Amino acid sequence: MCSLSKFFGKSKNTKAKLPLVLGLLVSINVYPSKNDKILYNNLRMCRCGMKRGMKKVLPLSYQPRYRALKQILEEAYQTLALPDSTVVRLRSEVTALQRFCREQILSLQLDELSSDVQHWVQSYHVEIDKQLRLLEVDIVFLQAARQTVTTEQRRQQVRDRLATLQRYCDVLLGE
């Protein structure tokens, strides 16, 4: 770890030189300090037109699909909360959830968005896809669980996974 203050001192031109210096430091395996990374991220946000505290939000034309996804997630969460819910029923809901995501969310054309919003949405799409695959594995483990304690642990994992997906929707919707 090193600090950029060694390189800049109290120079007024620090922000202009920062990306170049950070790139150079990383390329020679000298990693900047946490404060330098924060400064770099703040600089990147300013360059993208984002000020600290502002949220990125999807355009209105994209939001209905994410609201529908959020509704499906809530239904799956409620199914999981029922004491008599079977794994087979939950599995069918998760399969429907995956199908909806692949057909309606992950296939969205993002060409009309600005490049920074496009990258932002794409990164959430990658995370959503990953969480869906992990959710499928969690359902398989839940189905294989034989003891009550293990079953409850697996149900909690599925709840956590569904909550994570809901948070992703909230971020994309700006809620």
Whether 84 is in a domain gets the answer yes
Per the DSSP assignment, residues forming a β-bridge with 32 are 2
DSSP state of 103: I
Q: Which domain holds residue 26?
A: 5-47
Categorize the per-residue pLDDT at 111 as very low, low, confident or very high, splitting at 50, 70 and 90: confident
Q: Which of 115, 107, 100, 132 is nearest to 56 (CA)?
A: 115
**Per-residue pLDDT reduced to its tens digit, 130-162:** 999 999 999 999 999 999 999 999 999 999 999
**Per-residue pLDDT reduced to its tens digit, 53-108:** 456 778 888 899 999 999 999 999 998 888 767 888 888 999 999 999 999 998 88
Whether 135 is in a domain gets the answer yes
Query: What CATH number did the domain enclosing 144 receive?
Result: 1.20.120
User: Cβ(138)–Cβ(91) under 8 Å?
Assistant: no
The domain tally of the chain equals 2
Please check whether residues 68 and 39 belong to one and the same domain.
no
Please check whether residues 38 and 67 belong to one and the same domain.
no
Please check whether residues 67 and 125 belong to one and the same domain.
yes
